[in-house]
Amino acid sequence: MEIRKYVVETDRGVVASQHRQAAEAGAEVLRAGGDAVDAAVACAFVCGVLEPWMSGPAGGGAAMHWRADTGAAHALNFGMRSPAGLQVADFPLSGEGIAGDLFPWDRVVDDRNVHGAKAIAVPAVVSGLEIAHARWGRLPWSDLLAPAIAHAKAGMAVDWYAALIIASATRDLARDPDTAALFLMDGQWPRPFAWTALAEDRLDQSRMADSLDVIARDGAAALHGGDLGAAMAQDVRDKGGYLTSDDLAANTAQFQTPLAVRYRDAMFHVMPGLTAGPTFAAAFGHLAQHDMTTPEAAYPAYARALAAAYADRLSSMGHDGEIPAAPGCTTHFSVVDRDGNMVAHTQTLLSIFGARVVSPSTGFLMNNGMMWFDPVQGRPNSLAPGKPCLMNVCPALGAAGDRHFALGASGGRKIVGAVVQLASFLTDFGMDLQAAFDQPRIDVSGGERIVADAALAPAVIEALTAVSSVSTARGSMLPYPFACPAGVMTEGARQFGMTEPMTAWGDAVRE
């Protein structure tokens, strides 16, 4: 059986998101005359309501913005930080091997850096949305939050996919009474999904709706120095964490100089600093030394380039090691408006369901940003107070000839490999967006093993074995062995949008 999605094409704007209803909210904003940034704000907040285990106002991330009138790229970092009051001594090593989550860190006693209030970092995603809107937005901020507020008032419908996601984390969700009350039946059981349209189970997100209404009125200041943020911080401290109002006031989004990556006849712009942007740049530096004559011949080059780039990343930015198989908790969407302005936006809670802690005062599911840090001291990314998190996000902009595109993905350490390959498909081989997203990929994201899509030709897989050991995997909706990208492209007067075919809810929606 083959599962496919099809590219959306139009002479107007497109929003490509992991959740179709979030994409629809963004597309409606474009129809109302909004900028790509306006659509991004609406899409981001709806994602936080309808994919609450992936992202939300208590998360962080980064975005790349392309302004068509000036031909300029802008990097916006709204990453998380560790709280200033964090106590490293609260995270002793257990001596029980590696942690059973996203990263190969030594395990901490009680997994305190994975779940629970001590795992919570200082969020900044709302600040990131507001600062971009203040610079380029056309429509009122409060109007852009209206779709998310409406969805939260109605409550997210629990379909088969949501029920499966919740069931996969039931034991961890039951640890926190407020999280259990929101996601579980009677605070302890997985939620059933409706077999027919006559019965429908919905989450009670009314408290979240009230909080979003406050943000709609007061902006990011409500969280970063305001009463809403103070209440959220108090909730975290009441549960044993460190978050304070001062932490929230100090951690706001910042524009940064993008990392420009020239590659043959193409130009890419990615995030600098503690993101996957430098790893993307390193990978293309290696690819520039290889013969990329055909996609099939390119796969060994991808494997070598990504392995080398990840070796650099893990030696200078974080500790090396084998990667445990665990789900990521991130969402990515890409937007292009009718004028050609673009946004590649990635936001995250880090692990699935973040810290598995809900702030009862706000209704927000909290992040577990402490998992980004190595708990062993004396390493490049060691846990410390007041320190920015090392993120895997890789929103990217690209240009080649009369084409411009915006890409990104969810999937933890698998993100950068997916974005590198898609960017290469579009530039090295001139694929259209449909062909690029349909093209099988490999994953090389640490460790020595290559994971190859089983749809690749046997000769390609054989060539990969000359690089390293190879295992094959077929795409599935859950678990998914590769990253889940979303992208938009403009070529001439036409705009295109596409999402990963194996995402259950993902879709692109035209203006």
Per DSSP, the residues of 98-152 read E-SSSS-PEEEGGGTTTSSGGG--B--HHHHHHHHHHHH--S-HHHHHHHHHHHH
Whether residue 493 is contained in a domain is answered as yes
To the nearest whole number, what is the mean pLDDT of the chain? 93
Structure tokens at 320: 């090396």
Nearest Cα neighbor of 229 from 303, 137, 122 is 122
Amino acid present at 422: L
- Whether residue 350 is predicted with pLDDT greater than 90 in this model: the reply is yes
pLDDT in the model for residue 421: 98
> Measuring CA to CA, how many Å separate 264 from each of 245, 281, 290, 429?
48, 13, 11, 12
Average pLDDT over residues 397-413: 96
Nearest Cα neighbor of 361 from 178, 101, 158 is 178
* Placement of tokens 């997985």 in the chain: 190
pLDDT in the model for residue 327: 47
Contacts 24+ apart (CB under 8 A), 472-476: 475/3, 475/501, 475/502, 476/502
The answer to whether the Cα torsion of 373, 379, 385, 387 is positive or negative is negative
CA-CA distance, 128 to 61, in Å (whole number)? 8
Q: What is the pLDDT of residues 139-158, one digit of tens each?
A: 999 999 999 999 999 999 99
- Residue 137: which CATH number? 3.60.20.40
Whether residue 176 is contained in a domain is answered as no
Q: Is 309 exposed, middle or buried (0-12, 13-18, 19+ CB in 10 A)?
A: buried
Q: What is the pLDDT of residues 164-181, one digit of tens each?
A: 999 999 999 999 999 999
Contact call for residues 452 and 442 (beta carbons, < 8 A) = yes
Host domain of residue 421 = 8-156+203-510
DSSP three-state, residue 215: helix
- H or E element in which residue 218 lies: helix 206-218
Nearest Cα neighbor of 510 from 336, 381, 352, 342 is 336
Q: Where are the beta strands (DSSP E) in 309-395?
A: 328-336, 342-351, 358-359, 364-365
Q: What is the pLDDT of residues 295-331, one digit of tens each?
A: 778 999 999 999 999 887 766 654 444 444 444 579 9
Strand order in the sheet with 494-499: 8-10, 494-499, 484-491, 403-410, 396-400, 266-270, 259-263
User: Residue 140 — φ and ψ, nearest 5°?
Assistant: -60, 140
Calculate ∠ Cα 147-150-155, nearest 5°: 125
Helix 295-316 × helix 277-287 angle, to 10°: 130
Domain count, the chain: 1
CA-CA distance, 419 to 398, in Å (whole number)? 11
Whether residue 341 is contained in a domain is answered as yes
Structure tokens at 420: 């590198």
Torsion of CA 224, 225, 226, 228, to 10 degrees: 50
Whether residue 127 is contained in a domain is answered as yes
> What percent of the chain stands above pLDDT 70?
95
Whether residue 175 is contained in a domain is answered as no
pLDDT band at 269 (very low <50, low <70, confident <90, very high): very high
CA-CA distance, 186 to 31, in Å (whole number)? 42
Contact call for residues 188 and 371 (beta carbons, < 8 A) = no
Q: What is the DSSP annotation of 236-264?
A: HHHTT----HHHHHH---EEE--EEEEET
Whether residue 186 is contained in a domain is answered as no
CA-CA distance, 211 to 237, in Å (whole number)? 19
Whether residue 259 is contained in a domain is answered as yes
Average pLDDT over residues 463-475: 92
pTM of structure: 0.95
Contact call for residues 303 and 468 (beta carbons, < 8 A) = yes
pLDDT in the model for residue 319: 42
CA-CA distance, 178 to 185, in Å (whole number)? 12
Radius of gyration of the chain from its Cα atoms, rounded to whole angstroms: 21
CA-CA distance, 132 to 509, in Å (whole number)? 22
The answer to whether the Cα torsion of 227, 229, 230, 234 is positive or negative is positive
Whether residue 113 is contained in a domain is answered as yes
Q: What is the pLDDT of residues 88-118, one digit of tens each?
A: 999 999 988 887 666 778 899 999 999 999 9
CA-CA distance, 382 to 108, in Å (whole number)? 13
pLDDT in the model for residue 315: 61
Amino acid present at 139: L
Task: Provide the pairing of β-strand 470-473 with 450-453.
Answer: parallel
Beta-bridge partners for 491: 403, 494
Q: What is the pLDDT of residues 180-229, one digit of tens each?
A: 999 999 999 998 876 665 567 899 999 999 999 999 999 999 999 999 99
Structure tokens at 492: 């001439």
